[in-house]
Amino acid sequence: MNFLKKPELRQWLYVFLVFALLILFYKFLDYLPWIFEGIAFIFKILRPFVIGFVIAFILYRPAVKIELLLSRADNKFLCKNARILSIIYIYASFLIILGLVLSLAIPRLYLSLKDLITKLPGYYESTMNFINSKIDSDGKLFGFDISDIRANLKLEQFFRTDKMLDYLQGIYKVGSAVVDFMLAMVISMYMLASRESLRKVCRNILSLFLPEHRIQGIKNYTDRICNIFYDYIFSQLLDALVVSIMAGIVFSILGVPYSILLAILMGLCNLIPYFGAIIGGSVVMVITFLSGKRITALIVAAAIIIIQQIDGNIIQPRIVSNKMGLKPLYVLLAITVGGGLFGFVGILFGVPAMAVLRMLLREILAQRQGRKKREN
């Protein structure tokens, strides 16, 4: 291997390796759709376990805190059964809160959706009349040819009889999702109750391939990654709840139709960084405008801007407090790549994934710089 010590040969070897890696990456992109299909198939089979893991992940910290409080109690029964009692308390509270929210919100949401669907043909007709009134003699709207859009924008397509099979499949998927959620609840309870044994199993599997110091390093990184995702999820959910409450109060005062439904939509859209507020606000303004309340729509637009300013300058700095530490350009990159690869889920979790990638890259660079300093 003495020939590798020659600078010219090493330089050509590096060039060869770079080209080889580029070719491998190109071939990897060819198989990328198949890889994603395989991952999606595995997730579909293990969907109850994936959902159960997410539920257990969300409820882990509250369960640990309550278990710690019960273990310090003077009562022997509470100390002995602290874990089981904490899990029962957390899940009972979770189900009670979920039940209250559904019982209070679902009836109003149902009535709002029913009324909105009933009035959609009227909104459609008024929109088409407005478009037709603005079309010139050449069939163009403000200089743009919209013939293809008009041909495809037919409300009757959504109510054709040949789509009944799709509607029945949708009902089946809803029932399947309910069953998966019930299974996931049970699985998550087992995960929380036997978390030490699950950690031990993972550690034993890793010990077959890695030395102890590597396993400890993986554990440290896993804890930090979990903290990043946990802080992001809870801060975003809390921020979305606050925005929904503020929007619901303002919309009710202004007499906006479907105020509860649109307020919830505003909160959900607020989970998407940067673009979510624009999407949610635009939908609210359009629905208010189509309902015939033109002046109210303008007032709602101003109210939404005020709500977003309060959220961005007062609420988010206190709740989210920029925990991800990402610049806006990286956030937009995370949303774009995440949405392109994994859809809506990728949009939601692209930001913490980018924060994890940033943390790992910083650690690698710090280790290499430290190694170079020691060598010098």
What is the per-residue pLDDT across 300-342, written as a single tens digit (0 to 9) for each? 888 888 888 888 777 776 665 555 667 777 777 887 887 777 7
**Which tokens sit at 224?**
């930090």
**Which tokens sit at 9?**
């040969």
What H or E segment, with its residue span, contains residue 144?
Answer: strand 144-145
**Measured between alpha carbons, how far is 198 from 200 in angstroms, rounded to an integer?**
5
Give the residue among 248, 313, 328 at the shortest CA–CA distance from 280. Answer: 248
pLDDT of residue 145: 55
pLDDT of residue 202: 84
In this structure, the number of other CB atoms found within 10 A of the CB of residue 348 comes to 20
Coil, helix or strand at residue 326: coil
352, 229 Cβ separation under 8 angstroms: yes
Which phi and psi (to 5°) does residue 193 adopt? -70, -35
What H or E segment, with its residue span, contains residue 317?
Answer: helix 316-319
pLDDT of residue 112: 65
Cβ-Cβ contacts under 8 Å for 293 (sequence gap 6 or more)? 255, 256, 257
What H or E segment, with its residue span, contains residue 188?
Answer: helix 164-193
61, 195 Cβ separation under 8 angstroms: no
pLDDT of residue 376: 64
**Measured between alpha carbons, how far is 33 from 26 in angstroms, rounded to an integer?**
13
Low-confidence ranges of the chain (pLDDT < 70): 1-12, 29, 32, 104-110, 112-117, 119-172, 174, 292, 317-325, 375-376
pTM exceeds cut of 0.85? no
226, 359 Cβ separation under 8 angstroms: no
Give the residue among 334, 340, 339, 338 at the shortest CA–CA distance from 354. Answer: 334
pLDDT of residue 178: 77
pLDDT of residue 322: 55
Give the residue among 51, 270, 78, 77 at the shortest CA–CA distance from 177. Answer: 51
Coil, helix or strand at residue 88: helix
**Measured between alpha carbons, how far is 369 from 331 in angstroms, rounded to an integer?**
27
**Measured between alpha carbons, how far is 196 from 109 in angstroms, rounded to an integer?**
42
**Which tokens sit at 170?**
């949708």
289, 296 Cβ separation under 8 angstroms: no
User: Would you say the C-alpha torsion 301, 303, 304, 309 has a positive or negative sign?
Assistant: positive
Burial 170-192 (b: 16+ CB within 10 A, else e): eeeeeeeeeebeeebbebbbebb
339, 356 Cβ separation under 8 angstroms: no
